[in-house]
Each structure stands twice: as structure tokens, then as C-alpha cells.
Structure 1
Amino acid sequence: MKRKVKTKAKVNDDYQKRGRHILFSVVFLVLGFILAFSYRTLGSNQEADALESSVILKEEAYREELISQQERNKELTDEIAAKQEEIREFERSFSTREEDHAILVDKARDLRLLLGVIPAVGQGVIVTLKDADYDPIEQNPNDYIVHESHVLRVVNELRISGAQGIAINGQRITANSYIKCTGPVITIDGRTFPAPFVIEAVGDMDVLTSSLYLKGGVIDGLIRDNIVVTTEQSKEIRLSALRDES
């Protein structure tokens, strides 16, 4: 039997083929590894991108919601400010109406006092006018008795000084009252009163008294006319209303 003997050239050819197989195997192995790594890396990147996109979308949603809430808060703040201004305006209007009402009430009361339809009560002054002593043989008696002009001086001064009510010998004086002298007596609204004449006035007693005693004023003039004048301050004077007088 003959043995087959491989030639040197054939052996080299076998080695070359086997080397190429090994080389191809190594190349394919490396390529597979690269492809697998690339796939894993690509997948990881895609997941990271997807996660980042989700976070960005949520942030955008939160930002839009925050902006919307801020705008709503501003609207509510403006609405509250407008309501508060309406309340302040109502309070000012109400206060003005209250003040106007109080002023009207005071004016109505002053008018009633002036007309004498309601009693006048409070502090004030009492002025008494008396005839002076005289000798009827040597002196003119008209120069020593109280005339309506003397009474009117006192009444007008008291009115100007803010007297809320005035009465003469208990007779309430109104804006329409008339005073007339008839000899030693005077007539007030049809009623006759003899001297002395007691004039009562309700008001600030210090102001009323000061106005009467002004230099060159009412009291000085009465004294020059020989009228006996006395004044008295009172913490409580009550003047009856006209309808209450008998």
C-alpha cells in the first residue's frame, strides 16, 4: 500500500486556508461585538432622549400652568382692589350723606328755635333793664325810662352773637316778633309788659356776655342813656315754646 505524501506546497495552502478562516472568524466576532455595542448604545441614547423630552414637556406644562395661575392671581388682585375702592367710595358717600343729614337736622333745629316752636334749653345770660331814678319836676322822664330801642339793641346783639332762643319777661321772641313802646310799658306781639324788662338768652354764655360788654357797645350805650343794666350768667335757662305759653 502506498502512503499519500503531502507536498510542501499543499501544506502551505492548507495553512493559508485555515488562517483565513480564523481571520474571518475574528473579524466577524469583532463586527458582531461592535454592532451589539452600537445597538445598546443607540438604545440607551434613545431612552435618555425620550426621558429628557418627557422632562422638558413636563417643565413646559408646569411653566404654562404657573404663568396661567400668576395671570389669574393678578386678575383676582385687580378685582379685589376694585371692590375695595367701591367699598371706600360707598363709605365716603355714606359719611357725606350722614354729615349732610346732620347738617340738615341742625339747620331744622335752628329754624325751629328761631320760630320759637320748640323750647330752648341750655346755658346763657340774663339781662335786666330798669328805669333810672329821676326828678319829674326838673328832668324829662323820657330820658330815664327804657324804650323799645333799648330792648331791641340787646335782642339784636344777642341774636348776632349766636343766641339760640330769646325771651322778654317770659314772652318768647321770634323772627317775626315786634316790640313797641307805649309810655312806661312795652308791647311784645300784642302783650304788654312793664319795667323792669328781663331778657333771657340761651347760648354760649361767655360769648354772649363778651359781645354785650364790647367797648362802645350795647352796655356802654345803655348806660349813656341812663338805663340801669345788670347781667347774669346762668348754666341753665329754659325758654318755653310759643305753643306752651298760656
Structure 2
Amino acid sequence: MVPVVMLIAGCVFGISASTSRGSDLRSDESQLRELVLARESAVNRYAAERNQLDKSVADLQQGIAGYDVSVAAAQKQAQALEQSAGLTALTGSGVEVSLNDAPLGPNGELPPGARPDDVVIHQSDVQGVVNAMWAAGVDAVTIMGKRLINTSAVLCVGNTLLLDGKTYSPPFVIAGIGDQNAIEQHLKDEPGLDLFFEAVDAFGLGYKVVRKSQISAPAYEGALGVSVATPIG
């Protein structure tokens, strides 16, 4: 179930990246929102089952490695790659970025000249920040405290964020562990954020960049797809 949700999210994410800001996934989304919320509990249940199965597999592998040299060698190779794959927790200095919807007037009125789509954070805005961080060569990226890997899919449904089958409301917090100067420069230079910065100035969208001496990025806990596998020995 989780891989299916991620696949769907990834497909929509790719399509929306090519659309202009203000039109991606911002039409009538009430039915999609209801579907996502209804399925979230099921995703959580399946994720718990998957985690238990992962643990059982790991225990079996560990047991076999005790007497099978080839399995032990393969495990050692895999462990050496875990950090770069995002499967181990990391802590270090970096930059934290917060994105938030624009404030409305006392009676809920929009800023002058704004449309409803202009005052909310879009999927492309979150993606732009993530792209800038990867381009800066960060060691790890998190959204709302959840670790991302290169296959992670993020989807905005209305003004909520769908990540690994769970929904989050703004402000959206994206953090990167790495060179702070490089991250800040890439945020300024990221083409995918040009329209967002215009909306920040024109309509008051929330954008906050803070240097952090310590950011914690947990190990990635989502599903891992295997496309190629060969037997050992």
C-alpha cells in the first residue's frame, strides 16, 4: 500500500512540476482530500506491518550471516552504504526553512490583488526548497522532521502536505544538514523559487531561513523499492 501511495504521489509530483505556480493541484480538490484522509489510517497500519516484517527479515539475515560467509560479506557492504542512502540518523549544522500561507485580513479578506491560490504554499514551493538543498550538496534533508531520500515523493493536497502517507499542515519546515553558506546561496539562485519569492513580496507568504548549529535527521523509515536483485553465490 505504501509503495502504491508513493508511486501515485510521485506521478502527480512530476506532472505538477511542469505547471505554473497557482495552477498545480489547486483546483477543486475536496474529493482528493477526503480520499487521502480516509486512506491515511490504512497507510499507517500497513506501514506498521511492513516495519515488523522488515525486522523479521533483518533478524533472519543476521542469523544466516553467523554461519554463511557470503551473506556476512554482503551485509557488510550494505552497511557501508546505509549512510549515503539515508538509512542512518545524522546530526549536524545546517539551515532550516519555514514556508507558510499568507495571513488574511481581520474578516478573512485577501491581500489587495491576490487570488486564493496566491496566498497558500504550493507543492512547487516545497520542491524548490528541497531542490536547492540537494544542489547545495547537503548530507541530509528532512521535511517536518521526516527524512527524505532520492525516491521520496511529496504531494500537496489543498493546503496540506502528503508525505509517506501522512498529512501535515503549514507552516512546512524543511531542514538540510550541510554547508550553511552553500544552502543559502542555492536557495537564492533556485529557479523553481522565483515565482514564490515574488508572492512573498506581493502577498506576504511566510518565508523564514534560520541557521541551526544542530539539526537531527532520523533514518529514513519509508518503503524501499527493489528493482534489481540477484541471488548470492
Matched AA of 1:125? V
What is the aligned counterpart of 1:155 among 116, 130, 138? 130
Counterparts in 2 of 1:219 and 1:182: CA distance versus 1, 3 Å: closer
Matched AA of 1:140? R
Matched AA of 1:225? A
Determine if contact 1:222/1:229 at 8 Å carries over to the other structure.
no
Q: Which runs of 4+ in 1 moved over 4 A?
A: 135-139, 216-220
1:222 corresponds to 2:196: yes
- Offset of 1:201 from its aligned partner? 0.4
Report the Cα distance in structure 1 between the residues aligned to 2:193 and 2:153, rounded to whole angstroms. Answer: 22
RMSD of aligned alpha carbons: 2.7
1:175 corresponds to 2:153: no
The equivalent of 1:239 in structure 2 is 217
The equivalent of 1:117 in structure 2 is 87
SS in 1 for 2:121: coil
The equivalent of 2:100 in structure 1 is 130
Determine if contact 1:123/1:235 at 8 Å carries over to the other structure.
yes
1:208 corresponds to 2:186: no
Counterparts in 2 of 1:218 and 1:233: CA distance versus 1, 3 Å: farther
- Offset of 1:218 from its aligned partner? 5.6
Report the Cα distance in structure 2 between the residues aligned to 1:219 and 1:229, rounded to whole angstroms. Answer: 11
Q: Structure 1 unaligned runs (5+)?
A: 1-104
The two structures have a TM-score, normalised by structure 1, of: 0.50
Determine if contact 2:94/2:177 at 8 Å carries over to the other structure.
yes
Higher relative contact order (CA 8 A, sep 6+): 2
- Offset of 1:237 from its aligned partner? 1.1
The two structures have a TM-score, normalised by structure 2, of: 0.52
Counterparts in 2 of 1:221 and 1:113: CA distance versus 1, 3 Å: farther
Counterparts in 2 of 1:184 and 1:243: CA distance versus 1, 3 Å: closer
SS in 1 for 2:176: strand
State which structure, 1 or 2, has the greater radius of gyration over its C-alpha atoms.
1
